[in-house]
Amino acid sequence: MTDRLLKGIGVSAGIAVGPAVVVRWTMPEVPHRVVPRSRVEKEVRRLRAAVRDVKRYLQDLRAKAEDRAGADEARIFDAQLLMLEDKEFLSGVADLIRENHLTAEKAFEFKALEVRDLWTATGNPRLKDRLADFSGVTIRVLEHLMHRGSDELWEGIADPSVVVARELGPGLTVQLDREHVVGLVSEEGTRTSHAAILAHSIGIPAVFGVTGAMERIEPGTMLVMDGTRGTVLLDPTPAEIAEARGRELRRRELATQLDEVASQPAVTTDGVRIALRGNVDLPDEIKAAQEHRAEGVGLLRTEFLITSHTTLPSEDEQTAYFRRVSEAFPGYPVVVRTYDLGGDKLPGAFRMLAETNPQLGWRAIRVCLDRPEIFHAQVRAALRAAAHGQIQLMIPLVTRLDEVDRTRDIVALEAKRLAAEGIEAAATLPLGVMVETPAAAVIADRLAEASDFLSVGTNDLTQYTLVVDRGNARLADRFNPHDPSVVRLLKMVVDAARAAGKPASVCGEMASEPLSAFLLLGLGYDTLSVAPPKLTIVKWMARQVSVARARVAAEQALAARSADAVLDVLRLALAEAVDLKLLDPDARLPGGRRAASLNV
């Protein structure tokens, strides 16, 4: 089957089965023609008229997007409208017409190709995502100038089909008829591309980034595409089609149940309340955390404030951001992680020597303590924001007690200074430790005494414990957070926090995966900080299980000899409460046991 399976990125969940309709929506070939001097200004007027007409067309698409996908998604077309009306770009096109006597379409094409090459050369992934928007605008204007249309692209689709294209822009996506287009496959695009966002909002399964799709998929080829797994299967057998439709039924069944629990508290069947917070990397994730009912933010990353910038953020800028996040979650805590700089995060405003092994070098709290001009401003901003909300501070990559002590001294110093300056700020704030290294786990009892809370970053804890670079594909099978060594360290941390009377949470990827979250509940964690899209499924899992059963599974996991044995224990225990096929269609229980039915 591998020769029939194409892989990409699942950008909109769901499974679609149907024949391929291959769409070749590309820039038209524009003939090179010049015009007499007497017609130059007429060509400029043609350009302006085309821009006006395409603007009206995009405004109509925006209205359609708002009706089908919502107001936020409709704003995607604002970016295209801005591109269309960019004065510098249009002035450059007009200059080409006047100076070289080119037709309006040839001048527009020339300038558009120049911009496309410039954006491509930057290597910036965000600009690459926006190229689809720019290409869409360019094609619309050129086709208008050449008296062509794009409507014929969809006229031949009579049966439910899967559209295959090299690149899909939001303008094409929003026009799709859901009855006739059941799935999208594109060679280009990522999860953050505008076409992907619209496909998700409209509810069309989509797989983007499928290399070779246009070459491998002939028109009419039967496809099974899975927008959850990110796969496209060519020429499926009847059995494969039946299996895919079964997976889709289970996905929809789970989606229905997730909708039912979204507004409910995360309380286990034996009455234990679990706090589910959100991880927020960037400002645009605040809304996602709110929509998924996050009870505050358990990990607010701050690196974006400094990376990709040429200057350091001011204290006022940081204060405003921390307050904005806190105000989005009134009554709930927001845990600000201090800058985790160095390693793979090298800001433009930061100057540092190259290191042979940056992951074990000058990074995170080490950088902050050595660069007071960075750290003190961030501490002051957190204190100022804490006067208006439940702001907490957490320091990453701690390996020594003095790192906590020195940070606490800085908090006290800056609080005193702010008071002396007459600036509104909290007198202090909770200071926590992010446990990411075996060193921190081993001295967790001392760290719990010195700090106000502990939070485990399971990604780095796994990496450092197992001595495996999580980005090394060759060692991917060795990077496993269920390894008995990692499980035992997790238990050490939560026990140390409990003995000191301090709260402990997990903010790494383990908290976002239901099977792993089940283990964490059994180990004793009652606060999890989760990637926003995963909040509801983790809540759903928590509401199906008892902590008592999770504890039994955790005890067995602590005694296991391998990561596979740990997973077997967890699957068997969780299968007593939920149908594992809902969480993982490929789930297999050891010893040939079948997953139990839902016990809701």
For residue 467, the Cα-to-chain-centroid distance in whole angstroms is: 26
Alpha carbon distance 68, 131 (integer Å): 23
DSSP class of residue 437 equals S
Measured at the CA of 309, the angle between CA 287 and CA 531, to 5 degrees, comes to 30
pLDDT number for residue 339: 81
pLDDT number for residue 298: 96
DSSP letters spanning 513-559 = SHHHHHHHHHHT--EEEE-GGGHHHHHHHHHHS-HHHHHHHHHHHHT
Concerning whether 292 is annotated as a catalytic residue, the answer is no
Alpha carbon distance 333, 296 (integer Å): 5
Tokens for 362? 């000058």
Strand partners, 227: none
507, burial (CB in 10 Å: exposed 0-12, middle 13-18, buried 19+): buried
Measured at the CA of 481, the angle between CA 476 and CA 484, to 5 degrees, comes to 115
Spell out the SS3 assignment of 243-299.
HHHHHHHHHHHHHHHHHHHCCCCCECCCCCECEEEEEECCHHHHHHHHHCCCCCEEE
- By DSSP bridging, strand 222-226 and strand 15-23 are antiparallel
The amino acid present at 600, given as its one-letter code, is: V
Spell out the SS3 assignment of 59-76.
HHHHHHHHHHHCHHHHCH
Angle subtended by helix axes 458-466 and 484-499, to nearest 10: 130
CATH topology of domain 2-23+152-237: Glucose Oxidase; domain 1 (3.50.30)
DSSP letters spanning 476-521 = GGG--TTSHHHHHHHHHHHHHHHHTT--EEE-SGGGGSHHHHHHHH
Alpha carbon distance 462, 359 (integer Å): 13
Q: How many CA atoms does the CB half-sphere of 78 hold within 13 Å?
A: 7
Q: Are the C-beta atoms of 527 and 274 separated by less than 8 Å?
A: yes
Measured at the CA of 221, the angle between CA 220 and CA 225, to 5 degrees, comes to 120
Q: Start-end ranges of CATH 1.10.274.10 in the chain?
A: 37-145
Concerning whether 368 is annotated as a catalytic residue, the answer is no
Catalytic one of 194, 200, 292, 482: 194
Give Dmax (Cα) for the chain. 88
CATH topology of domain 37-145: Enzyme I; Chain A, domain 2 (1.10.274)
pLDDT number for residue 305: 77
pLDDT number for residue 596: 35
Q: Are the C-beta atoms of 209 and 190 separated by less than 8 Å?
A: yes
The amino acid present at 266, given as its one-letter code, is: A
Q: How many CA atoms does the CB half-sphere of 210 hold within 13 Å?
A: 32
The CA distances from residue 580 to 254, 514, 575, 589, in Å, are 11, 10, 6, 9
The CA distances from residue 570 to 459, 494, 495, 522, in Å, are 20, 19, 20, 10
Handedness of CA 560, 433, 335, 458 (dihedral sign): negative
Catalytic one of 144, 200, 292, 507: 507
Which pTM does this prediction carry?
0.69
Closest of 138, 219, 196 to residue 11, by C-alpha: 196
Alpha carbon distance 266, 273 (integer Å): 6
Q: Are the C-beta atoms of 529 and 336 separated by less than 8 Å?
A: no
For residue 110, the Cα-to-chain-centroid distance in whole angstroms is: 35
The amino acid present at 4, given as its one-letter code, is: R
Tokens for 257? 């149940």
pLDDT number for residue 592: 44
Tell me the mean pLDDT per 10 residues along the chain, length 600. 84 90 80 88 92 87 73 71 87 91 90 84 65 80 80 63 83 68 87 74 86 91 91 94 88 83 92 95 86 94 71 88 96 91 53 58 72 86 96 92 92 95 95 94 96 94 84 70 96 97 93 93 96 90 95 96 94 88 65 37
Q: Start-end ranges of CATH 3.50.30.10 in the chain?
A: 2-23+152-237
Tokens for 203? 């509810």
Spell out the SS3 assignment of 197-253.
HHHHHHCCCEEECCCCHHHHCCCCCEEEEECCCCEEEECCCHHHHHHHHHHHHHHHH
Closest of 151, 139, 204, 195 to residue 169, by C-alpha: 195
Tokens for 461? 């804890």
Q: Are the C-beta atoms of 404 and 418 separated by less than 8 Å?
A: no
277, burial (CB in 10 Å: exposed 0-12, middle 13-18, buried 19+): buried
Q: Are the C-beta atoms of 423 and 460 separated by less than 8 Å?
A: no
